[in-house]
């Protein structure tokens, strides 16, 4: 995935953090960007609410995870292969570990996501390939 897409995703998320514009600002600030045809389509965030999808291990009383939120918002634009960029930040805008949890990994595989790029606690990025 091109560095330009990663930079754009980080810049977009940091701008929202600067304005404290995240529903979980005081807890875990997660963003998942959907990438289709090498373009950012948009993003989802973790937030309060019941999970959209059953059967992946999400607890019924857990929050909506950013991966599921992003897919639910943009699934109509996904015609074939897609990827995600997962970002987690602290309130100072520093990148933290955003590796998809086991539930989200199972979910991303089920919806035919090909790759997840995620931030690490050192501020770098790692990649998971699903197919």
φ and ψ of 103, to 5 deg = -65, -45
Q: How confident is the model at residue 25 (pLDDT cuts 50, 70, 90)?
A: low
Span of 9-13, 49-53, 83-87, 120-124 with lowest mean pLDDT: 49-53
Q: What does the pLDDT look like over 36-48, one tens digit per residue?
A: 998 999 999 998 8
Task: Give yes or no for residue 19 having a pLDDT over 90.
Answer: no
CA 125 to chain centroid, in Å, comes to 13
Q: What is the pLDDT of residues 61-90, one digit of tens each?
A: 678 899 999 999 999 988 888 999 999 998
The domain ranges of the chain are: 3-129
- Pick one of 3.30.930.10, 3.40.1500.10, 3.40.140.10, 3.40.718.10 as the CATH number of 3-129: 3.40.140.10
pTM: 0.90
């Amino acid at each position: 995935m091109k560095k330009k897409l990663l930079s754009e995703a980080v810049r977009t998320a940091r701008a929202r953090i600067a304005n404290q514009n995240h529903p979980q600002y005081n807890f875990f600030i997660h963003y998942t960007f959907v990438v289709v045809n090498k373009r950012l389509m948009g993003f989802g965030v973790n937030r309060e609410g019941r999970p959209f999808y059953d059967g992946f291990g999400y607890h019924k009383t857990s929050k909506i995870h950013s991966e599921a939120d992003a897919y639910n918002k943009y699934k109509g634009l996904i015609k074939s292969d897609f990827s995600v960029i997962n970002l987690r930040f602290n309130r100072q805008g520093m990148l933290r570990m955003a590796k998809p949890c086991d539930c989200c990994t199972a979910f991303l595989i089920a919806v035919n996501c090909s790759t997840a790029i995620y931030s690490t606690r050192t501020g770098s990025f790692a990649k998971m390939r699903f197919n």
